[in-house]
Each structure stands twice: as C-alpha cells, then as structure tokens.
Structure 1
Amino acid sequence: MDTVFLQGLELRSVIGVHAWERAFAQRLKLDLRLAVDTGAAAASDDLADAVDYAALAEQLTQTAAAADCQLIEALADRLAATVLSHAAIQSVDLTLHKPGALPAATDVGVAITRSQQEAP
C-alpha cells in the first residue's frame, strides 16, 4: 500500500464547548496520510486513476465549514468519514490541530486512524 499525504490544510469551523469559542468559525489545521494503491495512477499518468487531492481538500473544507461540533474528536471523525467516502482510499491517519486552544501550548489536537473496514 502506498501513501498520499496532505499537510497543513487550513480549515474553518465552529467548534468548542464554551460560548466564546462558538461565536465565530475558528482556524484549524489538518494533516492526512491516506493509504492508497497508486499503481494504476502511476501506470496511466491519468488523474482519473488517482486520488484528486485538490477535490478532496475542497470537500474537507466544506465539511468543516458546515459542521457545528463541540469536540474536536467529533469533527475529526466527520472529516475521516468524508475521506473514506472515496472507495480508493483504504485508510486515513488524520491529525486535526486547534492552534491557540491553550495559550501555554504551541498546539492542541487529536490524531485518529480510520479504515474502510470501520466505515458505515
């Protein structure tokens, strides 16, 4: 299995448990590692045989913008489900960062792994 990755995708979403957090869409960062068989794309050199990461990034941006989660874990799970809606992606390692969540920390977030076997 091969890996396609996307790192540092900026998202905006209403997220948090406190009223002040929910007053505006917060800036988040997303890192993905996708388990994919890239053999067909390598042989054909055709985007139709590859994971279109630009289209996936747009889909994830829309999913985050439409979400209204309290917990970063819930949003991460929704984003993973969006990734796995693409049958060619066997699994995803997803890290969702919430910069500025704790003033004394440089970063806060959650890392999850999901696979097609777990998808509904």
Structure 2
Amino acid sequence: MDTVFLEALTLRSVIGVHPWERSFAQRLELDLNLSVDTRDAAATDAIDAAVDYAALSERLAERAATADCQLIETLAARLADVVLEDNRIESVDLTLRKPGAVPTARSVGVRIIRSQSEVP
C-alpha cells in the first residue's frame, strides 16, 4: 500500500471547553497519512485517478470552520470521516494539533487511525 500525505495543513475552528476558547476560531495544524493504491494514478497520470489533495484540503478546512466542537478528539473524528468519503483511501492516520493550548508546550493534540472497515 502507498501513502499520500499532507503535513501541517493550517485549519481554523471554534474549539475548546472554556468560554474564552469558544469566542474565536483557533488555529490548528493537521497531518494526514493516507493509505491508498497509487498505481492507477501513476499509470494514467490523470488527476481523477488520484487523491486530489488540494480538493481534500478545501473540504477539511470547510468542515473544521463549521465544526464548533469542544474536544479535539471530536473534531479529529469528523475530519477522518471527511477523508474516508473517498473510497479509494483505505485508511487515514491523522494528527490534529492545537498549538499554544498549553503555554509550556509547542503543541498538544490527538492522533487517530481510521479505516474504511469502520465506516458504517
């Protein structure tokens, strides 16, 4: 299996459990590792045979912008659902970071792994 990846995709979302956190959209960072067979895309050199990571990035940004979650775990799961809407992606290893959430740490976050076998 091959891997298509996106690193440090910047998203904005209202997220947090404290009232002050929920008063503005915070900056988040997203890393994705997508398990996908890229042989057809390589053979045809056609974007419709590949995972269009630019289009996927836009869908993820839109979902984050409208999510309004309290927990980063919830938002991560919703973003994984967006990724797995593309049936060619067998699984996603997703890391979502909330930089600045803990002043003495560069970042905090969650890493989840989801697959097509878990999609209802």
Question: Given the two structures, how large is their TM-score scaled by the length of structure 2?
Answer: 0.99
1:80 corresponding residue in structure 2: 80
1:32 corresponding residue in structure 2: 32
- CA distance in 1 between counterparts of 2:82 and 2:106 reads 28
State, as a whole percentage, how many aligned pairs show the same letter: 68
Structure 1 stretches of 4+ moved >3 Å: none
For structure 2, which runs of at least 5 residues remain unmatched after alignment?
A: none
Deviations 1:36-87 (Å, cap 9, x if unpaired)? 0000000000001000000000000000001010000000000000000011
Give the match's secondary structure for 2:94: strand
| CA-CA distance at 1:99 after TM superposition | 0.1
1:65 corresponding residue in structure 2: 65
| CA-CA distance at 1:107 after TM superposition | 1.0
- CA distance in 2 between counterparts of 1:113 and 1:64 reads 18
For structure 1, which runs of at least 5 residues remain unmatched after alignment?
A: none
Asked if 1:52 is matched to 2:52, the reply is yes
- CA distance in 2 between counterparts of 1:112 and 1:22 reads 24
2:98 corresponding residue in structure 1: 98
Count of residue pairs brought into register by the alignment: 120
Asked if 1:16 is matched to 2:16, the reply is yes
- CA distance in 2 between counterparts of 1:4 and 1:95 reads 14
Give the match's secondary structure for 1:73: helix
Question: Given the two structures, how large is their TM-score scaled by the length of structure 1?
Answer: 0.99
- CA distance in 2 between counterparts of 1:87 and 1:99 reads 31
| CA-CA distance at 1:119 after TM superposition | 1.1
